[in-house]
Amino acid sequence: MTSPSAPNGPVFAAPHAAPPVGTLLTPPEPTRRGRPLGTWALALSVIATVLASAVGGFAAFRSARGAAPGLATMSSSGFDWRVLSPVRDLVLLGEVAFWSGTVIGLTAIVLGLVAIVRRSGRGAGIAGLVIAVLGPVIFGGLTLVAIVAGLAGVSSGGSPV
């Protein structure tokens, strides 16, 4: 270090050195984006749980109301599947909701597990995993409530109240 009375003033740091050749105009390093695995798991689990359960519950309610007149005239010898003939389109809708919810829910479980293991969107992955695991319970419970409500809305004569 030179003295403060040096002709060019005090020197506090090393002089500037030029960067190596070829590194002056290199592009900046890309910023790392968060991986959306956990977010995808959460979104798919909500779709599987909420949407599939809502469609399944609607189909179960309408199926129960439509099949109730046939149930009132049925004998006690066993269940006659022909009572579902008038509501076969609603039964199919409920079945499609069940299977699509199953496939979407299983996909959400797998994505949630991968997000947790890879630590990419871990919180959303955990939430998605929990919601997807609870999805079948919610679907079954809502379907049961909808069937009971649909049957309760029909009088003993088989006509809607």
Instruction: List pLDDT tens digits, range 5-33.
Output: 566 666 566 777 776 776 666 676 776 66
Sketch the domain layout of the chain as residue ranges: 37-71+93-151
**CA distance linking residue 37 with residue 13, whole number of Å:** 48
Neighbours of 21 (CB within 10 A): 6
Cα gap 161→152, rounded to integer Å: 9
> Is the distance from CB of 57 to CB of 145 less than 8 angstroms?
yes
- pTM of the predicted model over 0.85: no
Q: Could you tell me how far CA 7 lies from the centroid of its own chain?
A: 72
Cα–Cα dist 47/53, whole Å = 9
Paired tokens of 59: 């189909």
CA separation, residue 96 to residues 15, 47, 48, 81, 121 (Å): 74, 14, 12, 19, 30
Taking only the tens place, the pLDDT of each residue in 45-90 is 999 999 999 999 999 999 999 888 777 666 677 777 778 888 899 9
